[in-house]
Amino acid sequence: MPAVSKGDGMRGLAVFISDIRNCKSKEAEIKRINKELANIRSKFKGDKALDGYSKKKYVCKLLFIFLLGHDIDFGHMEAVNLLSSNKYTEKQIGYLFISVLVNSNSELIRLINNAIKNDLASRNPTFMCLALHCIANVGSREMGEAFAADIPRILVAGDSMDSVKQSAALCLLRLYKASPDLVPMGEWTARVVHLLNDQHMGVVTAAVSLITCLCKKNPDDFKTCISLAVSRLSRIVSSASTDLQDYTYYFVPAPWLSVKLLRLLQCYPPPEDAAVKGRLVECLETVLNKAQEPPKSKKVQHSNAKNAILFETISLIIHYDSEPNLLVRACNQLGQFLQHRETNLRYLALESMCTLASSEFSHEAVKTHIDTVINALKTERDVSVRQRAADLLYAMCDRSNAKQIVSEMLRYLETADYAIREEIVLKVAILAEKYAVDYSWYVDTILNLIRIAGDYVSEEVWYRVLQIVTNRDDVQGYAAKTVFEALQAPACHENMVKVGGYILGEFGNLIAGDPRSSPPVQFSLLHSKFHLCSVATRALLLSTYIKFINLFPETKATIQGVLRAGSQLRNADVELQQRAVEYLTLSSVASTDVLATVLEEMPPFPERESSILAKLKRKKGPGAGSALDDSRRDPSSNDINGGAHGTGSAGHYSFLTSTCTFLQSTPSPSADLLGLRAAPPPAAPPATSGAGNLLVDVFSDGPAAIASLFVCKNNGVLFENQLLQIGVKSEFRQNLGRMYLFYGNKTSVQFQNFSPTTKRVAAQVDGGAQVQQVLNIECLRDFLTPPLLSVRFRYGGAPQSLTLKLPVTINKFFQPTEMAAQDFFQRWKQLSLPQQEAQKIFKANHPMDAEVTKAKLLGFGSALLDNVDPNPENFVGAGIIQTKALQVGCLLRLEPNAQAQMYRLTLRTSKEPVSRHLCELLAQQF
């Protein structure tokens, strides 16, 4: 096959390639390749020195084999040898092989560098270009170190050839991206900017890429590029297409360069200089005008190139966001594209318009295209175009069109592609919440979502509707009625059962007056779904049932019957079984008062960022929620939860909810099932003594000493005297924690009016009985003093009161962080301000055992880092303290001195009080 290979056809290579092409199977191909590899290997190893041509031929074959997807593990040396050849073709193959196959940490780099150095010094432009391409392609640090100083010089040297300048510009770009520290700014920077004025368009094209990258990091150094770029752009845009050397592509002058210049300008705000700005606006207008002119060619290439510039121009206009006139023109232009027959244009127009929608100047103009966009959502054949249409609808949504957009998106959801359903669900949920004028519309929308695309409604969505219904009492009755109706459908989605179960359990009483939805009807409706549901839903329904017993005493007997049934009490699932047992006992043991307290309506949820929005952002990356974050467009927007306030706690921790379960610790067959794992066993009731002594007891116990015991552990006995024992069990994750307090009555007499903290746990604690309290803790910001727990009760007529520090210290919110020695020291150095460090030297109070120390440090919450400190005796740890408001990075180092029985502890954190506090807390532990 002679004709196909041009130039100095390497006959052997052509034959080999034909062989490969003729292989009928993968096996045959591999066989042929292995044969060839063996041949090349023997040639390379042979005694006879190969001439340049054969070396080139074999290296070329290896390259071809590599490109077919086979790994190559030899031949590198031969390729490096080719670099020093004087023949261009041999050198070129050598560089090609190295660019494609040598990775940046190869041992051959030094040899390669040597060859490159020679070529750079050769003053032969073709050789110089090859060498520069190679540096740009490999771009390793070692190469950077060798050449970073030379390349700027070559780039701005007056006598460098154009093609060398081009290569040098992009080579420098690569080195700067890989290791910016190797490329110091200097007097060459000003001259680089002037390359924008270079006569040669290719040099300008390359230079713009370099400048765009450099100016992002050093915007001030490169400010002069704005006016140069504008004048260059203006010369291209306005000139007749003939005088642009050969950079005109189908009658469009230098399309790629124009696009790049427009991109560069997007790195800066609008030009301050009025003349420059005027010239630029003129350019932008010219581009918009040209779009309306009849095309100079019917060829699609012509319009494609023209449109590439047009889209980039519109991007720049949107970026400036300051010229209402241009923004509206841009919007109209995109509006034309929305109905263009080319799918590519429709796609790009939708995408571009999406950003246009967030500008206050063009938002209204974008809204006028709503019907076209809705039509696109319905009729486009390409899913990616439909997705863009959905994005645009989401972006252009505001109070005036929310109902229309939401209903269109709901309709689309019925036929939407599976891949984008979840996203559409999230968007509908967010829009419905954001622009809800009346909450019944919101509830309807979410229930419709569940009905249409239940599988794609994530937890966040239905949690949110529950939060909103709980927090807004004006919608509760409507919500109860609507879910009740929705549940009557013969087949309804499990998420509907969840929402229905929760809402009826809380607010079913609001519709109980209607005989069609009387309590027994509500119950049997829910229970008819029970058997079809998953464990989680059943567990939720069981809670609904116990709430029903409180709301509707008339259903008690029926529900107790359900709970008592073997399928519940002996359910294989622990959670269901526990709920059934507990609820059954609760309903039979507790008085109506207790029941009413325990099963009180849920308190309003604290306000925080909508979890749905957070999820959408996660899905789409930053900026996806922009339409919603953009509050400036709609300052009056009242969030649906506007009325509900956060916990507003004055302290630095908030107790979100305080629920309790009444536990009987008298020996009973079910005791083990109650999750009483860590409860301290009730001690034998001692003889009672006078009340006066008790109070002394409480305070002589030194709560501080006890609290320090909990710094490194989470479970134990917090307090104990003759009357009462308080056990604690806690768990922490990030900035949240949950603490179980177990109050054990050690006497045989009932405590009355028992009230720890502000919330009554239980009115009485029977002799020998135990009450459990659950505290949910959220760390809002760093704090020094732990929260206080005050417990009051009456024992034998005498009031008792005690105040304890809860074992919550800042280190509980530690997240351990693993890092390598290098990172550790780098961060250590970053925290070098004197106030960021706290240090303490102290005597050991306990035997100095490395294992115990390790356990304590781990218990403290930080990660222990091995192989960081050069002295293996020392301990080094790192972690992040998570609070709602901020995160505090902490590094610690503990140096034991066994001889002196002393320790030195050093803490460095980004916050001064935290360093000191942690240091004090931890120092007490050794």
Partner 1 sequence: MIKFFLMVNKQGQTRLSKYYEHVEINKRTLLETEVIKSCLSRSSEQCSFIEFKDFKLIYRQYAALFIVVGVNDTENEMAIYEFIHNFVEVLDEYFSRVVSLMIMFNLDKVHIILDEMVLNGCIVETNRARILAPLLILDKMSES
Regarding 344 and contact with partner 1 (CB under 8 A), the answer is: yes
Regarding 382 and contact with partner 1 (CB under 8 A), the answer is: yes
CB of 422 to partner 1, least distance (A): 16
Measured from the CB atom, the residue of 205 and 800 that comes closer to partner 1 is 205
Measured from the CB atom, the residue of 106 and 649 that comes closer to partner 1 is 106
Residues 6+ apart with CB under 8 A from 341: none
Measured from the CB atom, the residue of 423 and 778 that comes closer to partner 1 is 423
Measured from the CB atom, the residue of 105 and 636 that comes closer to partner 1 is 105
Exactly one of 232, 260, 493, 538 binds partner 1 (CB under 8 A); that residue is: 260
CB of 260 to partner 1, least distance (A): 7
CB of 136 to partner 1, least distance (A): 5
Judged by CB under 8 A, the stretch of 41-49, 228-236, 380-388, 823-831 that binds partner 1 is 380-388
x/- letters, 134..173, toward partner 1 (CB under 8 A): --xx-------------------------x--xx--xx-x
**CA 60 from centroid of its chain's CA atoms:** 45
Exactly one of 107, 159, 181, 246 binds partner 1 (CB under 8 A); that residue is: 246
Exactly one of 21, 45, 298, 829 binds partner 1 (CB under 8 A); that residue is: 21
Regarding 209 and contact with partner 1 (CB under 8 A), the answer is: yes
x/- letters, 413..432, toward partner 1 (CB under 8 A): --------------------
Nearest to 878 by CA among 805, 819, 797, 810: 819
Measured from the CB atom, the residue of 233 and 761 that comes closer to partner 1 is 233
CB of 212 to partner 1, least distance (A): 8
Exactly one of 12, 17, 597, 848 binds partner 1 (CB under 8 A); that residue is: 17
Regarding 249 and contact with partner 1 (CB under 8 A), the answer is: yes
Regarding 245 and contact with partner 1 (CB under 8 A), the answer is: yes
Q: Is 418 one of the annotated binding-site residues?
A: no
Measured from the CB atom, the residue of 264 and 694 that comes closer to partner 1 is 264
Measured from the CB atom, the residue of 172 and 465 that comes closer to partner 1 is 172
Buried b (16+ CB within 10 A) or exposed e, 798-815: eebebebbbbbbbbbbbb
Measured from the CB atom, the residue of 351 and 697 that comes closer to partner 1 is 351
Regarding 769 and contact with partner 1 (CB under 8 A), the answer is: no
Q: Give pairs for 804-808: CB < 8 Å, separation 24+.
A: 804/703, 804/718, 804/719, 804/726, 805/703, 805/704, 805/706, 805/707, 806/718, 806/739, 806/775, 807/707, 807/709, 807/710, 807/711, 807/714, 807/718, 807/728, 807/730, 808/653, 808/730, 808/737, 808/739, 808/777
Q: Is 298 one of the annotated binding-site residues?
A: no
Exactly one of 113, 189, 307, 495 binds partner 1 (CB under 8 A); that residue is: 307
Q: Is 11 one of the annotated binding-site residues?
A: yes
Regarding 788 and contact with partner 1 (CB under 8 A), the answer is: no
Q: Can you spell out the DSSP letters for 240-304?
A: -GGGSTT-EETTEESHHHHHHHHHHHTTSPSPSSHHHHHHHHHHHHHHHHHHHSPPS-SSHHHHH
CB of 48 to partner 1, least distance (A): 24
Regarding 347 and contact with partner 1 (CB under 8 A), the answer is: yes
What are the structure tokens assigned to 802, written together?
């005690």
Measured from the CB atom, the residue of 426 and 779 that comes closer to partner 1 is 426
Q: DSSP assignment, residue 658?
A: -
C-alpha count within 13 angstroms, C-beta hemisphere, residue 809:
22
Judged by CB under 8 A, the stretch of 42-50, 217-225, 379-387, 855-863 that binds partner 1 is 379-387
Measured from the CB atom, the residue of 96 and 907 that comes closer to partner 1 is 96
Q: Is 117 one of the annotated binding-site residues?
A: no
Rounded Cα distance, 766 and 435, in Å? 53
* CB distance 310 to 292 below 8 Å: no
Q: Is 12 one of the annotated binding-site residues?
A: yes
Measured from the CB atom, the residue of 147 and 435 that comes closer to partner 1 is 147
Rounded Cα distance, 565 and 338, in Å? 63
Judged by CB under 8 A, the stretch of 309-317, 602-610, 625-633, 840-848 that binds partner 1 is 309-317
Measured from the CB atom, the residue of 204 and 769 that comes closer to partner 1 is 204
Phi and psi dihedrals of 87, rounded to 5? -85, 130
Rounded Cα distance, 505 and 519, in Å? 10
Regarding 616 and contact with partner 1 (CB under 8 A), the answer is: no
Regarding 505 and contact with partner 1 (CB under 8 A), the answer is: no
Rounded Cα distance, 172 and 150, in Å? 10
Judged by CB under 8 A, the stretch of 301-309, 601-609, 841-849, 865-873 that binds partner 1 is 301-309
Phi and psi dihedrals of 436, rounded to 5? -65, 125
Q: Give pairs for 599-605: CB < 8 Å, separation 24+.
A: 599/546, 599/547, 599/549, 599/550, 601/506, 601/507, 602/470, 602/506, 603/657, 604/470, 604/471, 604/644, 605/467, 605/470, 605/471, 605/644
Exactly one of 76, 174, 427, 538 binds partner 1 (CB under 8 A); that residue is: 174
Regarding 339 and contact with partner 1 (CB under 8 A), the answer is: no
Regarding 311 and contact with partner 1 (CB under 8 A), the answer is: yes
Measured from the CB atom, the residue of 213 and 678 that comes closer to partner 1 is 213
Rounded Cα distance, 206 and 171, in Å? 10
Total residues contacting partner 1 by CB under 8 A comes to 70
* CB distance 886 to 867 below 8 Å: no
What are the structure tokens assigned to 123, written together?
């003053």
Rounded Cα distance, 884 and 653, in Å? 10
Nearest to 166 by CA among 126, 138, 113: 126
Across-strand partners of 733? Answer: 736
Gyration radius of the chain over CA positions: 37
CB of 256 to partner 1, least distance (A): 5
CB of 131 to partner 1, least distance (A): 13
Q: Give residues 37-96 in contact with partner 1 (rule: CB under 8 A).
A: 60, 63-64, 67-69, 71, 87-89, 92-93, 96
Exactly one of 201, 237, 878, 921 binds partner 1 (CB under 8 A); that residue is: 201
Share of the chain residues as helix, strand and coil, in percent rounded to the nearest 5 = 55, 10, 30
With H, G, I as helix, E, B as strand and everything else as coil, classify residue 798. Answer: strand
Exactly one of 164, 193, 257, 865 binds partner 1 (CB under 8 A); that residue is: 257
Q: Is 53 one of the annotated binding-site residues?
A: yes
Nearest to 450 by CA among 402, 503, 487: 487
Rounded Cα distance, 317 and 304, in Å? 20
Rounded Cα distance, 155 and 169, in Å? 6
CB of 166 to partner 1, least distance (A): 6
Q: DSSP assignment, residue 765?
A: E
What's the Cα-to-Cα distance from 172 to each of 99, 116, 176, 186, 262, rounded to whole Å?
16, 15, 6, 14, 22
With H, G, I as helix, E, B as strand and everything else as coil, classify residue 570. Answer: coil
Measured from the CB atom, the residue of 217 and 846 that comes closer to partner 1 is 217
Q: Give the number of other CB atoms < 10 A from CB of residue 79.
A: 26
Exactly one of 129, 475, 890, 918 binds partner 1 (CB under 8 A); that residue is: 129
Regarding 660 and contact with partner 1 (CB under 8 A), the answer is: no
Measured from the CB atom, the residue of 246 and 851 that comes closer to partner 1 is 246
What's the Cα-to-Cα distance from 124 to each of 86, 88, 119, 281, rounded to whole Å?
11, 11, 8, 44
The residue ranges that bind partner 1 (CB under 8 A) are 1, 4-8, 14, 17, 21, 60, 63-64, 67-69, 71, 87-89, 92-93, 96, 100, 103-104, 126, 129, 133, 136-137, 163, 166-167, 170-171, 173-174, 201-202, 205-206, 209, 245-247, 249, 254-257, 259-260, 263, 301, 304-305, 307-308, 311-312, 315, 343-344, 346-348, 381-382, 384-385
Which residues are annotated as part of the binding site? 11-12, 43, 53, 57-61
